[in-house]
Every structure is written in C-alpha cells, then in structure tokens.
C-alpha cells in the first residue's frame, strides 16, 4: 500500500494544474460573435464593423465604440482587447471585426489594451470613458500593421 505522502503528491499536482487552467492569467479571451450582441463579465459587447450590419441601429445603443486601424486609417480586424479599471481586469475579449462596442457606465474611466492576433505589432492602449449621452468613438492605430 502506498504511503499517504505518495498518494497526496498526484492529487496536489492535479489540483495545481486545475487552478492554473482556470487562472485568468492563462485563460483565452472570450470570443465575441461577429455581428451579434453578447454579455461578457456583466458588460454588453458588440463585435461588428463589416458590411451592411455595421449600419444596424442597435450599435448606437453602445456608449463606447472602439475602432482599430493601420497608419493609413484602413480598418483592421481580429483583435484581442483587455478592459481594466483600477488595475483590475474587467474583461478580455476577441473580436473578428474592426469595431468593438461596449456598454459601459458613464463617467467611469477604463484602460483598453488591444493587440492584433495575426500581426506582429506592438499592443496599443487608451483610456476610455462612456459619455452620459450618445456614443464616443476611440480609434486605436497600429502604425506597424501591414
């Protein structure tokens, strides 16, 4: 019969592996479906910006619109965005479109960090704040994208 310390070893290793698997630092971003509305971490999210669906009036209900572009202002897609406030990550989301819309409460500042999945570009960041009325657009430019 194995000693208690030998039985506990594999259990402890499995527990540590399980904790690492659910740790936010190692988690994949949540994929926002293209041209659909979803809620991630209690925040309304829209991923769009391509074709006719970008003109859908429902996108106006989102107070924050993030757009991603290269140095020539051509829109870029397939980004990963991390939203944080007060040093705490609120959500990490991937979007296949060039617009990421967020239903954030007005007046509170958030830090957005974005990176392109397929490009070897430096991440970009901005401070965003939802207006009390209307929609604020923030363009994150990746000058080294091609």
CA 47 to chain centroid, in Å, comes to 10
The pTM for the full model equals 0.80
Residue 28's pLDDT is what? 86
Joined together, the tokens standing for residue 136 give 């604020």
Of 27-36, 93-102, 131-140, where does mean pLDDT reach its minimum?
27-36
Strands 88-95, 30-32: parallel, antiparallel or unpaired by DSSP?
parallel
H-assigned helices in the chain:
4-22
- CA dist 103 and 59 (Å) reads 10
Q: What is the mean pLDDT of residues 57-81?
A: 96
* Nearest C-alpha neighbor of 47 from the set 95, 91, 112, 92: 95
Q: Is the dihedral of CA 117, 118, 119, 120 positive or negative?
A: positive
- Express each pLDDT in 10-19 by its tens digit: 433 333 333 3
Q: What share of the chain is helix, strand, coil (3-state, %, to 5)?
A: 20, 45, 35
Q: Is the pLDDT of residue 143 over 70?
A: yes
- Express each pLDDT in 8-67 by its tens digit: 444 333 333 333 333 344 368 999 999 999 999 999 999 999 989 999 999 999 999 999
Joined together, the tokens standing for residue 129 give 């704040």
Q: What is the mean pLDDT of residues 82-96?
A: 96
Tokens 């974005």 correspond to what residue?
114
State the DSSP string of 22-36.
H-GGGPPPEEEPBTE
CATH class of the structural domain 28-142:
mainly beta
Q: Is the pLDDT of residue 89 over 90?
A: yes
pLDDT band at 145 (very low <50, low <70, confident <90, very high): confident
Q: What percent of the chain has pLDDT over 70?
A: 82
Q: What is the mean pLDDT of residues 86-102?
A: 96
Q: What is the mean pLDDT of residues 83-106?
A: 96
Average pLDDT of the chain, as a whole number: 85
């Amino acid at each position: 019969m194995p000693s208690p310390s030998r039985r506990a070893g594999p259990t402890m290793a499995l527990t540590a592996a399980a904790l690492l698997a659910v740790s936010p630092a190692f988690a994949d971003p949540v994929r926002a479906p293209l041209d659909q509305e979803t809620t991630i971490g209690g925040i309304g999210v829209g991923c769009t910006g391509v074709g006719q669906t970008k003109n859908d009036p429902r996108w106006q209900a989102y107070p924050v619109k993030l757009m991603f572009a290269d140095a020539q202002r051509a829109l870029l897609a397939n980004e990963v965005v991390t939203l944080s406030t007060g040093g705490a990550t609120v959500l990490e989301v991937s979007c296949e479109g060039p617009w990421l819309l967020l239903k954030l409460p007005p007046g509170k500042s958030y830090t957005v960090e974005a990176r392109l999945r397929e490009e070897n570009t430096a991440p970009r960041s901005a401070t965003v704040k939802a207006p009390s009325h209307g929609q604020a657009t923030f363009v994150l430019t990746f000058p080294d994208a091609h």
